[in-house]
Structure 1
Amino acid sequence: MSPAVLANVVALIHFAWVAFLVLGLAAILLGIAFRWEWVRNRWFRLVHLTMIAIVVGESLAGVACPLTVWEHRLRMQAGQTTLEGDFIASWVHRLMFFQAEPWVFTIIYVAFGLAVLAVWIVAPPRWRKARAE
């Protein structure tokens, strides 16, 4: 597989990560309002919390996102001078990235992480064991 195609795959994985975090929090909030039991699934909630904890931890530590680094390296290998590359990558980047100082992103990530943590406290996941047959 060419580096350009792999870069697009990494960009789509990155987009899926962000979409899961944002849409997951929206689903949890709606689930609280509409009493959807599935939003209290412990595995869904643990994965969601872990994913945002990774983002917040990287941001606070000043570590570049590995997916961003990997994609950039693949684009360089493909001879692309911009992170936006082709059609797919261009749209993924337009939806995910905007220009701002690094501290702005840190504040956004921490605030989002605190929102996820607050929802964890307000509407904790269910930890009950499966029913015996």
Structure 2
Amino acid sequence: MEPSLFIRLAADAVLLLHALFVGFVVIGLVLIVAGKARQWAWVRNPWFRLAHLVAIVVVVVQSWFGAICPLTTLEMMLRSRAGDAVYPGSFVAHWVDAMLYYQAPPWVFAVGYTLFGTVVVGSWFWVSPRRFKKRVW
């Protein structure tokens, strides 16, 4: 396999990871709300809820500081190294990229992420997770 193809595939893998992260944050909140209505016990799992809360907090803090997501930075570095330009990567990568990256001023993202993060924090209290269990060694 030629090196640029391997690097391009690595960039696509990072893009897919990024899309999965976004899906976890967005769909996770939808599932938490649906889980309350449908009384799904798993939505109160403290590890799932903590991971979900930390994920959105990281996004909100990055947006407040104007930091670019490390996954975006890694993907762009790989694409640059592979010599990608106008239509980077595969067809799937192109469409996942189109769904993830919108053109708007940074303050729009900061406000949007903060509002979404506020809803996630609110869900912590509305659909409170179970307590973490102590391990007995």
- TM (norm. structure 2) is 0.89
> Gapped runs of 5+ residues in structure 1?
none
Alpha-carbon deviation of 1:116? 0.3
CA contact under 8 A between 1:75 and 1:82: conserved in structure 2?
A: no
- Tell me which residue corresponds to 1:71: 75
Alpha-carbon deviation of 1:128? 5.9
Distance 1:37 1:6, change over 3 A: same
Give runs of aligned pairs for residues 1-133 of structure 1, distance below 5 A. Answer: 2-82=6-86, 84-127=88-131, 129=133
User: 1:8-53 CA deviation, whole Å, 9 max, x = no partner?
Assistant: 0000000000000011000000011111111000000000001111
Pick which of 81-90 and 30-39 moved more: 81-90
> Gapped runs of 5+ residues in structure 2?
none
Alpha-carbon deviation of 1:83? 6.8
Pick which of 35-44 and 92-101 moved more: 92-101
Cα RMSD of the aligned pairs, angstroms, is 1.7
Name segments (4+ residues, structure 1) moved above 6 Å.
none
User: 1:51-109 CA deviation, whole Å, 9 max, x = no partner?
Assistant: 11111111111111000011001000010114743212101112222211111111111
CA contact under 8 A between 2:15 and 2:75: conserved in structure 1?
A: yes
C-alpha distance in 1, partners of 2:131/2:81?
47
Q: Identity percentage over the alignment? A: 43
Distance 1:37 1:71, change over 3 A: same
Distance 1:65 1:83, change over 3 A: farther
- TM (norm. structure 1) is 0.91
Aligned positions, number: 131
Distance 1:23 1:48, change over 3 A: same
